[in-house]
């Protein structure tokens, strides 16, 4: 396998499937199957998942809610998604741990870096919930931060688009896909890979990002085997 330890970033919206909000159990089961394929081949897996299918702090703030309050609500949404994913993974026979940046000890361990690394070394899948534990930071930033902390080889950003394009391929049929691109070129071209804080943190730590279509069966395994799937953002 090309990567020994990965940080998989999933969007909360991806869990909706064809629904307008919430969690689609079928989509959750499909993701669990994809993750099991690489887990069974010895890849150590950490996961950060967003909460946009339940609540998004920025959207709440735009409707008059206090931004800090909204962001904390968003963090709790990521914990709900983390619990749902944990259940789906355990249904497939995998051992998991849910660690959260906010203390919710009845349902999850507090995030402790050394403990997270130990879980990964023992073959457990570690899900990081509640973002960074701070308002004004996205789950993209949380994903890169945790990836750096646990010494992941790569950030795998699973989306509904199969890579990074010159413009939004869902709006522009003439958009051209990049197979590989440097951090510097992403910034120069103003491309939307991750939010600026997350992207800069990844660049400073030379942690590559692979943007790929998580909804296409087998993509996750192919990436871990070294196939050119999606777009690789590297130094």
Does the pLDDT at position 134 exceed 80?
Answer: yes
Residue 56, pLDDT score: 78
Residue 83, pLDDT score: 98
Looking at residues 169-195, what average pLDDT do you find? Answer: 91
- In sequence order, the 6+-apart residues with CB closer than 8 A to the CB of 173 are none
Report d(CA 59, CA 64) in Å as an integer.
Answer: 9
Binding-site annotation, residues for ATP: 9-12, 52, 56, 159, 165, 168
Residue 59, pLDDT score: 79
Among 47, 115, 56, which residue's Cα sits nearest to residue 82? Answer: 47
Q: Which two tokens stand for residue 183?
A: 């951090």
- pLDDT category at 163 given cuts 50, 70, 90 is very high
Looking at residues 127-142, what average pLDDT do you find? Answer: 97
Binding-site annotation, residues: 9-12, 51-52, 56, 71, 132-139, 159, 165, 168
- pLDDT category at 170 given cuts 50, 70, 90 is confident
Residue 100, pLDDT score: 98
Residue 64, pLDDT score: 85
Residue 169, pLDDT score: 86
Least confident among 71-80, 191-200, 217-226: 191-200
Among 180, 228, 189, which residue's Cα sits nearest to residue 208? Answer: 180
Contact 46, 5 (CB under 8 A): yes
Query: Percent of the chain at pLDDT above 90?
Result: 85
Does the pLDDT at position 57 exceed 80?
Answer: no
Residue 192, pLDDT score: 84
Please identify, in words, the CATH class of the domain defined by 1-160: alpha beta
Report d(CA 16, CA 131) in Å as an integer.
Answer: 19
Residue 61, pLDDT score: 77
Looking at residues 76-97, what average pLDDT do you find? Answer: 97
Binding-site annotation, residues for UMP: 51, 71, 132-139
- pLDDT category at 70 given cuts 50, 70, 90 is very high
Q: Where are the domains of the chain?
A: 1-160, 162-193+202-208+222-230
Does the pLDDT at position 30 exceed 80?
Answer: yes
Report d(CA 18, CA 232) in Å as an integer.
Answer: 28
Residue 199, pLDDT score: 93
Mean pLDDT of the chain: 94
């Amino acid at each position: 396998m090309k990567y020994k330890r990965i940080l998989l970033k999933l969007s909360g919206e991806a869990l909706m499937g064809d629904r307008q909000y919430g969690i689609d159990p079928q989509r959750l089961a499909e993701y669990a199957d994809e993750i099991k394929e690489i887990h069974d081949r010895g890849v150590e897996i950490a996961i950060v998942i967003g909460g946009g299918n339940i609540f998004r702090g920025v959207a709440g703030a735009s409707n008059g809610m206090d931004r800090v309050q909204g962001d904390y609500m968003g963090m709790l949404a990521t914990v709900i998604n983390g619990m749902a994913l944990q259940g789906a993974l355990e249904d497939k026979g995998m051992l998991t741990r849910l660690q959260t940046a906010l203390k919710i000890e009845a349902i999850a361990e507090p995030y402790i870096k050394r403990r997270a690394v130990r879980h990964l070394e023992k073959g457990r899948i570690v899900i990081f919930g509640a973002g960074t534990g701070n308002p004004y930071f996205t789950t993209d930033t949380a994903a890169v931060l945790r990836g750096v902390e646990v010494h992941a080889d790569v950030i795998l950003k699973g989306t509904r688009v199969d890579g990074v394009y010159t413009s939004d391929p869902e709006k522009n049929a003439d958009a051209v896909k990049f197979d590989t691109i440097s951090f510097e070129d992403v910034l120069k071209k103003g491309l939307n890979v991750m939010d600026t804080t997350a992207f800069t943190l990844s660049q400073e730590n030379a942690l590559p990002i692979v943007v790929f279509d998580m909804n296409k069966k087998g993509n996750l395994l192919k990436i871990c085997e070294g196939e050119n799937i999606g777009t690789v953002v590297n130094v």
